[in-house]
């Protein structure tokens, strides 16, 4: 089989990349190893309303709920409220990703791309040293899909990058390991996302509760890998749910890893582009990666289309991708990496102190950066090394 571009992985990043390239007239093949796109879910499904709407028209079919804001709890229970329009990148819509991912893949098919499920990339095909497509297994058979460019959108596993010589493997401090239950409990507030901080609850991470309507919510937590141990996320989550909502009815379980390494050195190689979690583009503080993957996917689709029509699909021809994502989503990812490295070192006492200091301020209209600015003004000594992030 021969095409212009083969995209590996039909998550939000891969689908947006494939769709964008197909809309520009390229012959595109999108392969996905699962037999059902979007399932099983590995996500808490929270996204910013404004940012999502700038990329795709929201469809009630894949929106589970809309929230008014977020509540943040310190280890001792002190809390603050952030409103939806300002807590911006963190909350807004809670999606139904099983439907969302599928809808994006269907849009991609409608745009002209060939979508192949149950098709797993095994390796890159090389000819005269250059990448010339992927070898894949489809329904148990080996097939070659020849292409000028391979877009690796293969998520946390990120093997395409490694086959291309980019070391994407995550060290323990570069990953949040997570567990989540979709549960029903009367105590769930349908209008607010909630975040609980604390080294006992989730070392180097946090517990989240994202409502999905009618007292259902994705309740989960992430632990920084360097402080995790075998099975810790599941154990900690069970403890949280058993102590805080003993009557909860659990109807689904999710486990997974979110890259929090921040920008990696290189996301392109000769004939290869990495997108989304595969390029480690998820946010190191929030762990959010859907929208970054989608935005990077669009940039990749555009750059690859130009590269294919100009005939230069080598590193030079793809360089615009590297530049464009670093100048857009890359800046925030880099800033949030510094923030994460600092926050995972804070003790519960520090976290309580920070939360107490901000009680008398009105933060309901602030975004994360605005809030950080206030926190630094109120706690100059503790937060001295973060000054550069709000300049």
Residue with Cβ nearer another protein (99 or 254) = 254
Specify whether the CB–CB gap between 376 and 383 falls below 8 A: yes
Kindly give, in sequence order, each residue whose CB lies less than 8 Å from that of residue 391, ignoring residues fewer than 6 positions away: none
* Partner in contact with 230, chosen from ligand FAD, another protein, none, beta carbon below 5 to 8 Å by kind: another protein
Rounded least distance, CB 257 to another protein, Å: 3
Kindly give, in sequence order, each residue whose CB lies less than 8 Å from that of residue 298, ignoring residues fewer than 6 positions away: 16, 17, 20, 55
Q: What is the 3-state secondary structure (H, E, C) of 340-371?
A: HHHHCCCCHHHHHHHHHHCCCCCCCCCCHHHH
Near ligand FAD by CB under 6 A: residue from 8, 217, 298, 372: 8
* Partner in contact with 14, chosen from another protein, ligand FAD, none, beta carbon below 5 to 8 Å by kind: ligand FAD
Residue with Cβ nearer another protein (173 or 314) = 173
Contact between 174 and ligand FAD per CB under 6 A: no
Near another protein by CB under 8 A: residue from 51, 86, 132, 159: 159
Near ligand FAD by CB under 6 A: residue from 88, 92, 155, 211: 155
Closest CA to 144 of 170, 116, 168, 165: 116
Rounded least distance, CB 153 to ligand FAD, Å: 5
- Size of interface with another protein, in residues (CB under 8 A): 37
By CB under 8 A, what part of segment 250-269 binds another protein?
253-257, 259
Q: In the stretch 212-241, what mask flags binding to another protein with x, by CB under 8 A?
A: -------------x--xxxxxxxx------
By CB under 6 A, what part of segment 83-122 binds ligand FAD?
120-121
Structure token digits, residue 172: 């323990």
Closest CA to 279 of 12, 21, 41: 12
For 139, other C-beta atoms within 10 Å of its C-beta total 10
- Size of interface with ligand FAD, in residues (CB under 6 A): 40
Rounded least distance, CB 49 to another protein, Å: 27
By CB under 6 A, what part of segment 241-270 binds ligand FAD?
254, 256, 258
Rounded least distance, CB 375 to another protein, Å: 31
DSSP for 250-293, written as a single string = EEEEEEEEEE-S-S-S--EETTEEE-GGGGT-S-TTT---HHHH
Residue with Cβ nearer another protein (178 or 308) = 178
Residue with Cβ nearer another protein (269 or 368) = 269
What is the distance, to the nearest Å, from the Cα of residue 311 to the centroid of all Cα atoms in its chain? Answer: 32
Closest CA to 287 of 367, 388, 178, 373: 178
Closest CA to 178 of 154, 199, 202, 158: 202
3-state DSSP helix/strand/coil percent for the chain, to nearest 5?
40, 30, 35
- Rounded CA-CA distance 155/163 in Å is 14
Report the interface residues with ligand FAD, using CB under 6 A: 8-14, 31-34, 42-47, 120-121, 153-155, 157, 159, 178, 180, 220, 254, 256, 258, 276-278, 282, 287-291, 293
């Amino acid at each position: 089989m021969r095409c212009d571009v083969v995209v590996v992985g039909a998550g939000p990043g891969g689908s947006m990349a494939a769709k964008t390239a197909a809309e520009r007239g390229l012959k595109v093949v999108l392969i996905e190893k699962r037999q059902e796109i979007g399932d099983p879910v590995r996500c808490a499904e929270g996204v910013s309303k404004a940012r999502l709407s700038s990329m795709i028209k929201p469809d009630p079919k894949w929106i589970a709920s809309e929230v008014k804001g977020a509540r943040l709890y310190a280890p001792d229970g002190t809390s603050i409220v952030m409103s939806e329009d300002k807590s911006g990148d963190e909350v807004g819509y809670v999606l139904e990703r099983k439907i969302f991912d599928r809808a994006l893949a269907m849009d991609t098919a409608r745009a002209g791309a060939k979508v192949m499920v149950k098709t797993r990339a095994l390796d890159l095909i090389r000819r005269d040293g250059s990448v010339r497509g992927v070898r894949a297994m489809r329904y148990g058979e080996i097939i070659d899909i020849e292409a000028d460019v391979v877009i690796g959108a293969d998520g946390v596993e990120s093997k395409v990058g490694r086959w291309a010589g980019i070391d994407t493997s995550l060290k323990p401090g570069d990953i949040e390991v997570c567990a989540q239950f979709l549960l029903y409990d009367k105590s769930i507030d349908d209008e607010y996302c909630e975040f609980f901080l604390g080294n006992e609850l989730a070392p180097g991470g946090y517990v989240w509760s994202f409502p999905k309507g009618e007292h259902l919510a994705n309740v989960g937590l992430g632990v920084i890998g360097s402080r995790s141990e075998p099975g810790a996320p599941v154990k900690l989550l069970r403890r949280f749910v058993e102590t805080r909502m003993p009557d909860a009815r659990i109807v689904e379980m999710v486990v997974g890893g979110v890259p929090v390494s921040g920008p990696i050195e290189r996301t392109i190689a000769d004939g290869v582009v990495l997108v989304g979690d595969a390029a480690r583009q998820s946010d190191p503080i929030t762990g959010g990666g859907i929208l970054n993957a989608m935005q990077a996917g669009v940039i990749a689709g555009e750059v690859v289309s130009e590269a294919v029509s100009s005939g230069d699909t080598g590193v030079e021809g793809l360089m615009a991708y590297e530049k464009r994502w670093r100048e857009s989503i890359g800046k925030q990812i880099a800033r949030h990496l510094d923030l994460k490295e600092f926050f995972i070192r804070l003790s519960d006492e520090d976290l309580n102190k920070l939360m107490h200091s901000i009680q008398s301020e009105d933060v309901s209209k602030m975004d994360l950066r605005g809030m950080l600015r206030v926190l630094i003004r109120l706690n100059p000594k503790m937060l001295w090394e973060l000054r550069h992030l709000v300049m």
